[in-house]
Structure 1
Amino acid sequence: MRVENPVLRGFAPDPTAIRVGDRYYLATSSFEWFPTIPLYRSSDLGRWEYAGSVETAVPGRSLLGVPDSAGIWAPALSHDGEVFWVVYSIVRSIGRRFFDLETYVCTARDVSGPWSEPVRVPGHGFDPSVLHHDGRHYLLNLQNDSRVGGRRFDGIVLTELTADRAGDGTVRALAATGSTHLLLQRDELVEGPKITVENGWFYLLLAQGGTGVEHGVLTARSRSLTGPYEVDDVPMLTTRDDPSVPLQKAGHGELVQAPDGRWFLVHLASRPLRTPSGPRNPLGRETAVQPVVWTDGWPRLAHGGWHPAVTVDLPDPGAAVDPSPPVDPSAAAGVAASDAGASSGDLSPRAAGHPAGDVSRRGLHHAPGWPWSTLREPAGDWIQPLGDGRVRLRGRMGAESLWQQSLLAQRLTEHRTRAEVTVAAEPVTFTQSAGLVLWYGTRSYYQLHLTWTEPDGEPQAGQQWHGHGRRVLQLEHGHPDGARVLAVVPAPAGPVRLSVSTDGAAGTFAAGPAGGPFEQVGPQVDVSELSDDFGDELRFTGSFAGISAVDLVEGTFTAEFSDWVHRSE
């Protein structure tokens, strides 16, 4: 079967993949977004279906207050012959010598859950994984030397764990036993350790060079689990030497073996936009797959070299996997008949040689599920389903808040996309607003909101309590140097239809009366700013299109949204 990379498109970073029986399972980082730790399954490594999430991953089900791009980093899946394990770190600080992290393990008999409550394990650093070998369990981790003058990436360590199991085989307690072993130290940055056992060797795969254009996969091996480890003098995967390769930032990989004995590398990569400011990746880091062969005892890309291929041949098990996410029967009534079959389709690969499809992700349903995501907490009582694909959002905190935002969003999966929604709301103060957003983080976003402002010609004076003013559409640009208002235009009476379209780095917002013509609002915006590569901050996620509502004073203002359409090409 021939497929086109990435096989998971749009913000699907740090993939971890395993095979159990004739099925493959995959998880990715979720950072500050819910659902936490998205999970996928496949019968061929190319066509993936959403299989749920580790809903229990965060104690208290809250990441409120964590910075942008913090939260859940680099989960690792494993299977001990009885149950699935996922190990991950919750990172609460970024860019400091203390990451303020905790590392947890959850287990489940089925990847779709239910997952156990998290069990804390030693957290030497982020990017943990677990190796099950000869009936024992070993925790691998990055070591962070947080002392003044210490190195944040100070080697890879291994600690054995003993497990106390519940009656169903899931783990209810874990304890470290014996000494912690230092497996490998390098002057360069290495992280994301995974161990594969093959032909009497322990192969240690490492994410090398950070998450940017220097990223790669480095391999080391040893006859003993605790080392010493010999480092391969050839990179297994990287694009650091050639900026023209279509899939950039290639790295953070894991080896998985097919039932027929063939090997594959699942890894992250990005599809950059070429801009005057250099390459930028608003789609974030995505998941790709490469066939692997063994040469002189080392894993190598089957097509030669170390650059990732866009088009690859993968196992064909025969029956196709449905790429659509499971549909909650209670939500089905909210999908119009014309939307039957609409899905998160952009997350499935396109057959090589075929043109890009036009896939819609429509509807706003009861307790919106995948591909909808929320910030820092699960969907709550601020979402009220209304049926017929409509939803009411109760406004809460504003776009720069790290706390309770009323925002529902979907990943952008292609560089050409369009989102539309109709919003009905009557704001009576500048502290109330609702509308459409393009989102990366609290300091990088574009927001077209229906809101209130003073009468035309009157200065911005905060006198909304006088009961006079006007309903307007305001386009706001969140920026690391401070938010900016790009346009304020009169809003048509009644419900308003909002849209945003992207074509490469160019984004255009428009609005009009429901059922009427669109008119552009404000200038064309630079979508490439919604990427890891913009600004001086550490950034690790991807861009979203979505809807949001704000009420800064009482938290009671509501807005009704309907006729959501999200198309990618």
Structure 2
Amino acid sequence: MPPIRNPILPGFNPDPSILRVGDDYYIATSTFEWFPGVQIHHSKDLANWDLITRPLTRKSQLDMRGNPDSGGIWAPCLTHDGDKFWLVYTDVKRKDGSFNDLYNYIISAHAIEGPWSDPIHANSSGIDPSLFHDDSGRKWFVNQLWDHRCRPSFVGIVLQEFDPSSGKLVGPRKNIFTGTELRITEGPHLYKRNGWYYLLTAEGGTAYQHSCTLARSRDIWGPYELHPDKHILSARDAPFAALQRAGHGDIVDTPEGKTYLVHLTSRPTTQNRRSVLGRETAIQEAYWAEDDWLYVKNGPVPSLYVDVPGTRDESVYWAEQRYTFENGLHKDFQWLRTPEPERIFSTSEKVLTLFGRESIGSWFEQALVARRQTHFSYDSETTVDFSPTDERQFAGLTAYYSRFNFFYLTVTAHSDGKRQLLIMRSEASWPVGNLATPFNEPIQLPESGKVRLALSIRGPALQFFYALEGEVLKKVGPVFDASLLSDECGGHKAADGSFTGAFVGMACSDVNGTATPANFDYFIYRPVEDESDRYDI
């Protein structure tokens, strides 16, 4: 059986938590400011994965209006105690400066598709919570511990018991592991095997020093001794490896007794090492040695090709996706922050109607519906019917990373009410977020009628196109640097301060406050084979 090629979840799918229940595997990944919250994929063979649910779907579970870029849902942990599924997650309200203002929550469900419970607030002392079900029946909650007096503010992994009957953390709380010299110790997961408690953590930050660190103890409270190699997975000493930024992992066993480690990774391109597809999920085969320590096969550098129980049909990866809206919004799409989607879009008329709200990049309520960029090169297209009255109303097609980083082809109007086609782009200037000026000369449009909008990305090159009804697409504007839509340019001053990935989608703004609608008939995402994206062996 031929090996598969990493990543197994391409595009923005970071911080994987993996679980097996019977013959079914599940991976939960972070969604940050994109709603609904948490992506859960399902597989039978570790090779083929399907997005089956996003469990945080209602206001009582999640409201991210006001959360910053790359805030929101961090590092979910999905577990099963033999009776029901448990999901813990962080909602980050502030992430820069000395304070991390956040909430760690616990929800549960008897079926993976839900219904999922309303959340229990566990604590707010640090990020990346996980829940461990001991064979004694006790449940333990671990998370990274934050101390605003320190630089960096990551001071270890804290352990406390969770009592499901009372719905709260109980008993003593202890910092059980302060990490190694790599520092920034986070992403904890606990396991038990042969009388040992194993603690897997992420260290080194989520950029190019990222690593998986393993420690163990006979007592859950510690002390924890370090793995002989300290870090069982990392690409920090392999700058030319295909998979970079490898860390934040989780472990799963197959029914046959094989062990695998899933982890986040990225595939940077250009000489500037820019991760346009964000942090993705990869898998590595691992094994338990005679010393009762886990080792990554051919590690610690992550392998591009890995043997798993299944094989993969790569034609699915390269298939064109044509989305229409007769049956609602396709599962590939998300929107930003709000748990009240009826305020920003509707599909009741069998088209996607976006109601113009705040400006693109707003941290509160903007009408932007988009899907992940999962290929280095692709074409995208839509048609918009929009009747703006002035320059404060605009709608169209956007390649989007954050408020500080986007390209936006818009139908808008001059102050005299005449329709125009205008390109807007950000300057990637954190923390200001200005539009880049001067603007390209706007193109005059007829006073009514649909406008076809398209873009092509070929590696680092982005080109917009447009056409009026009955016409062929023609280029508009210059070739832009698409590699700016990356973690490294995501609007944060540090390479490990932006956490999502590039999206492409439809948006509508009306900063007059009159909610002018824009109708989109369809949306096309067409992968184009790129040398960086080849999946042949």
Shared fold per TM-score greater than 0.5:
yes
2:306 corresponds, among 300, 304, 312, to 312
Q: Indicate if the aligned counterparts of 1:253 and 1:266 stay in contact, CA closer than 8 A.
A: yes
* Separation of aligned partners in 2, 1:185 and 1:407: 41
Aligned 1:381-396 pairs, distance under 5 A: 381-387=343-349, 390-396=351-357
Q: Indicate if the aligned counterparts of 1:57 and 1:106 stay in contact, CA closer than 8 A.
A: no
Q: Quote the residue 1:490 is aligned against.
A: 443
Unaligned runs of 5+ in 2: 529-537
Deviations 1:114-148 (A, max 9, x none): 0000011123200010100010000011111123x
* Separation of aligned partners in 1, 2:313 and 2:283: 14
* Separation of aligned partners in 1, 2:326 and 2:5: 31
* Separation of aligned partners in 2, 1:524 and 1:423: 22
SS at match of 1:541: coil
Matched, 1:380 2:375: no
Residues 150, 490 of structure 1: CA spacing in aligned structure 2 closer, same or farther, 3 A cutoff? closer
Q: Quote the residue 1:408 is aligned against.
A: 369
Q: Quote the residue 1:553 is aligned against.
A: 512
Q: Quote the residue 2:486 is aligned against.
A: 531
SS at match of 2:483: helix
Range 224-233 or range 4-13, more displaced: 224-233
Matched, 1:522 2:477: yes
Residues 434, 553 of structure 1: CA spacing in aligned structure 2 closer, same or farther, 3 A cutoff? same
* Separation of aligned partners in 2, 1:39 and 1:396: 30
Q: Quote the residue 1:568 is aligned against.
A: 527
Aligned 1:92-171 pairs, distance under 5 A: 92-133=93-134, 134-147=136-149, 149=150, 151-164=152-165
Tell me the CA shift for residue 267 of structure 1: 0.7
* Separation of aligned partners in 2, 1:69 and 1:370: 21
Residues 64, 514 of structure 1: CA spacing in aligned structure 2 closer, same or farther, 3 A cutoff? same
Deviations 1:460-505 (A, max 9, x none): xxxx3xxx34211111111233211542332443211110111111
Q: Quote the residue 2:239 is aligned against.
A: 243
* Separation of aligned partners in 2, 1:249 and 1:515: 47
Q: Indicate if the aligned counterparts of 1:383 and 1:394 stay in contact, CA closer than 8 A.
A: yes
* Separation of aligned partners in 2, 1:231 and 1:473: 59
Residues 136, 370 of structure 1: CA spacing in aligned structure 2 closer, same or farther, 3 A cutoff? same
Q: Indicate if the aligned counterparts of 2:19 and 2:25 stay in contact, CA closer than 8 A.
A: yes
* Separation of aligned partners in 2, 1:153 and 1:289: 27
Q: % of aligned pairs identical?
A: 36
* Separation of aligned partners in 1, 2:383 and 2:57: 34
Q: Indicate if the aligned counterparts of 1:448 and 1:473 stay in contact, CA closer than 8 A.
A: yes
Q: Indicate if the aligned counterparts of 1:364 and 1:564 stay in contact, CA closer than 8 A.
A: no
Tell me the CA shift for residue 112 of structure 1: 0.8
Q: Indicate if the aligned counterparts of 2:259 and 2:286 stay in contact, CA closer than 8 A.
A: yes
Instruction: State the AA in 1 paired with 2:116.
Output: W
* Separation of aligned partners in 2, 1:53 and 1:21: 21
Residues 355, 362 of structure 1: CA spacing in aligned structure 2 closer, same or farther, 3 A cutoff? closer
Residues 150, 469 of structure 1: CA spacing in aligned structure 2 closer, same or farther, 3 A cutoff? closer
Residues 548, 293 of structure 1: CA spacing in aligned structure 2 closer, same or farther, 3 A cutoff? same
Q: Quote the residue 1:26 is aligned against.
A: 27
Unaligned runs of 5+ in 1: 165-172, 321-348, 454-463
SS at match of 2:155: coil
Residues 233, 189 of structure 1: CA spacing in aligned structure 2 closer, same or farther, 3 A cutoff? farther
Q: Quote the residue 2:188 is aligned against.
A: 193
Q: Quote the residue 2:15 is aligned against.
A: 14
Q: Indicate if the aligned counterparts of 1:143 and 1:156 stay in contact, CA closer than 8 A.
A: yes
Q: Indicate if the aligned counterparts of 1:56 and 1:116 stay in contact, CA closer than 8 A.
A: no
Tell me the CA shift for residue 386 of structure 1: 5.0
Tell me the CA shift for residue 562 of structure 1: 1.2
Instruction: State the AA in 2 paired with 1:219.
Output: L
Residues 396, 131 of structure 1: CA spacing in aligned structure 2 closer, same or farther, 3 A cutoff? same
Instruction: State the AA in 2 paired with 1:375.
Output: L
Tell me the CA shift for residue 520 of structure 1: 1.4
Instruction: State the AA in 2 paired with 1:110.
Output: A
Q: Quote the residue 1:399 is aligned against.
A: 360
1:283 corresponds, among 257, 264, 277, to 277
SS at match of 2:94: coil
Q: Indicate if the aligned counterparts of 2:61 and 2:119 stay in contact, CA closer than 8 A.
A: no
Q: Quote the residue 2:425 is aligned against.
A: 477
Q: Which runs of 4+ in 1 moved over 6 A?
A: none
Residues 285, 386 of structure 1: CA spacing in aligned structure 2 closer, same or farther, 3 A cutoff? same
Residues 185, 367 of structure 1: CA spacing in aligned structure 2 closer, same or farther, 3 A cutoff? same
Instruction: State the AA in 2 paired with 1:309.
Output: S
* Separation of aligned partners in 2, 1:238 and 1:446: 33
Instruction: State the AA in 1 paired with 2:126.
Output: G
Matched residues, number: 510
Instruction: State the AA in 1 paired with 2:459.
Output: G
Tell me the CA shift for residue 59 of structure 1: 3.4
Tell me the CA shift for residue 355 of structure 1: 11
* Separation of aligned partners in 1, 2:50 and 2:12: 16
Deviations 1:142-197 (A, max 9, x none): 111123x4641101111011112xxxxxxxx5222221122111342210000121
Q: Quote the residue 2:535 is aligned against.
A: none
Matched, 1:363 2:324: yes
Q: Quote the residue 1:444 is aligned against.
A: 405
Matched, 1:184 2:174: no
Cα RMSD (Å) of the superposition?
Answer: 1.8
